[in-house]
């Protein structure tokens, strides 16, 4: 399986970079993992709703340019579906069983994802009603995908 994470913005803090790299390395035993960072748009303080929509649209164009027609797209969105780790592993198995060999996760910028990205996604996934910094979210996502792979293979994992 090919797993791509398309994220708006760069990983800056060394500890997040290291944590993400560790889970990418662990996932390498199960899948080919690729991280794609697309530039974020500067957001002025007190941006109007129209400005925010324009910013999300620009970021969406960059995101959508990274997605192929046959990719299964999972958009991380606060209003998305919530899974337990076991249920997420079952969902990942179903996705691969549907003939998708590429799974693309999308993490938006500070304003979230544009509706065009949400419409392109097959699944909207939420890890919580909380809002997380995108760097932390990348690490959480990679850890949960790694955990799902271990569950799928019947390997031990911490409950």
Three-state DSSP state, 98: coil
The annotation status of 118 as a binding-site residue, yes or no, is no
Q: What number of other Cβ atoms are within 10 A of residue 8's Cβ?
A: 24
Q: Report which of 83, 9, 16, 82 is spatially closest to residue 41, judged by C-alpha positions.
A: 9
- Cα gap 86→67, rounded to integer Å: 27
The annotation status of 112 as a binding-site residue, yes or no, is no
Three-state DSSP state, 130: coil
The answer for residues whose C-beta is within 8 angstroms of residue 21's C-beta and 6 or more apart is: none
Annotated binding site for S-adenosyl-L-methionine: 76, 108
Annotated binding site: 76, 108
């Amino acid at each position: 399986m090919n797993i791509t994470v398309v994220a708006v913005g760069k990983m800056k803090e060394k500890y997040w970079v290291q944590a993400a790299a560790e889970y990418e390395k662990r996932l390498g035993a199960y899948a080919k993992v690729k991280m794609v960072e697309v530039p974020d748009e500067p957001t002025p303080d007190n941006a109007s709703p129209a400005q925010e929509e324009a910013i999300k649209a620009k970021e969406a164009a960059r995101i959508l340019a990274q997605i192929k027609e046959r990719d299964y797209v999972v958009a991380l969105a606060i209003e998305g579906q919530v899974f337990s780790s076991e249920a997420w592993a079952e969902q990942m198995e179903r996705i691969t069983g549907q003939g998708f060999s590429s799974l693309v996760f999308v993490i938006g910028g500070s304003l979230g994802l544009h509706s065009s990205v949400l419409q392109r996604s097959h699944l909207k996934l939420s890890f919580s009603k909380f809002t997380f910094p995108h760097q932390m979210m990348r690490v959480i996502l990679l850890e949960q995908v790694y955990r799902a792979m271990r569950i799928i293979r019947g390997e031990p994992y911490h409950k």
